[in-house]
Copies of this chain bind each other. A is one copy, B any other.
Amino acid sequence: MLVSIKGDVRIFSYAAVGGAQEAKGPLGRAFDFIDESERFRQKTWEQSEGEMQRIALRKAMDKAGLSDGDVGHLFAGDLMNQCTSSSYGLMSFDIPHVGLYGACSTAAESISLASVMSDTTDSISAAVTSSHFCSAERQFRYPLEYGGQRTPTSQRTVTGSAAFLLGRGRGKIQVKQLMFGRSVDSKISDICNMGAAMAPAAVDTLTRFFEESGTQPQDYDKIVTGDLGREGFEITKMMMAQKGYNLDAVYDDCGLLIYNLAVQDMHAGGSGCGCSAVVAATSLFPAMERGEIRNLLFIGTGALMSPTSAQQGLPIASIAHLVHLSVM
């Protein structure tokens, strides 16, 4: 069902943190903090990822002049087993923590729930997420030292974190509507083809959104999915066209925006919880504040499998959560 945010909830501050490859990409200069070593002064990759979340949230709060007591709730999640990047990375904040798991859809999921909470309680909420290439490779694929070869449809997990602050009556970017996704059986079992696995979920949510809202793709300045990459981007365009929705003029994907794919060797593009989060914070939301995008559909896409479910032969379950944002 379509959820309307009635109480003028806006995204009024945000910050992005990234690694070496993200710094070299087209959005590199727009990050608030870069550590090219990708270690963020921590001993393990898992702790590095958590530290990125801490830096991102602290920077977003500093920009808005907020201290911990000003923020009512923190909605956060990541790709790590038991979401430890969020639970441990954000432990130093004296803010109630609502843990989420939506795989790479977590930026949209956390912004959505933060909007609902800020709307209901008239308080400030934070949304934070992250991914880290090195911790994700170790957990989902191979240790980096193994030097595994990547297939053409594979994507690069973005090393990045972004934090967003939401509340009433501040800032320009208003959260208008939400459409939460369903867990969809993608019928894809290739864990090196996340784009193809997530495209059906994006199509499911977009279709339901257009039907329930009575709108068309051309009613929006931009429609941006989270991390479908080259493969998923093309599949989504094609599947939407088959359903009578032409996305051509307005559609883009964060996995294609984060790297310069002509120069950087990232195969099908970027992925991970951090991908859509940092693209929103370094590109989409600044463009909204400058008035270049006035009406945005931001669709977080997630592949919900685990290494265990993949080993047991299950096809990849996927999901897509949609946030409709517009400039005041």
Contact = CB atoms under 8 A, between A and B. Distances in A.
A82 B182 contact: no
A304 B84 contact: yes
Interface residues of A, number: 56
B183 A90 contact: yes
Interface string A185-211: 100000000000000000000000000
Nearest to A314: B88
Contacts of A182: 93-97
A123 interface: yes
Given A87-B304, A101-B99, A120 B309 contact: no
A235 B87 CA distance: 23
Count of identical protomers in the assembly: 2
Contacts of A109: 98-99
A77 interface: yes
Contact of A99 (B44, B96, B100, B314): B100
Nearest to A3: B121
A167 interface: no
B184 A82 contact: no
Given A120-B119, A312-B46, A101 B88 contact: no
Contacts of A44: 312
Nearest to A115: B120
A113 interface: yes
Interface string A98-124: 111111000001000100110111010
B46 A84 contact: no
A47 interface: yes
Interface in A160-183: 179-183
Nearest to A71: B1
A81 B307 contact: yes
Given A84-B305, A84-B306, A91-B185, 4 more contacts: A77-B101, A91-B183, A97-B180, A98-B100
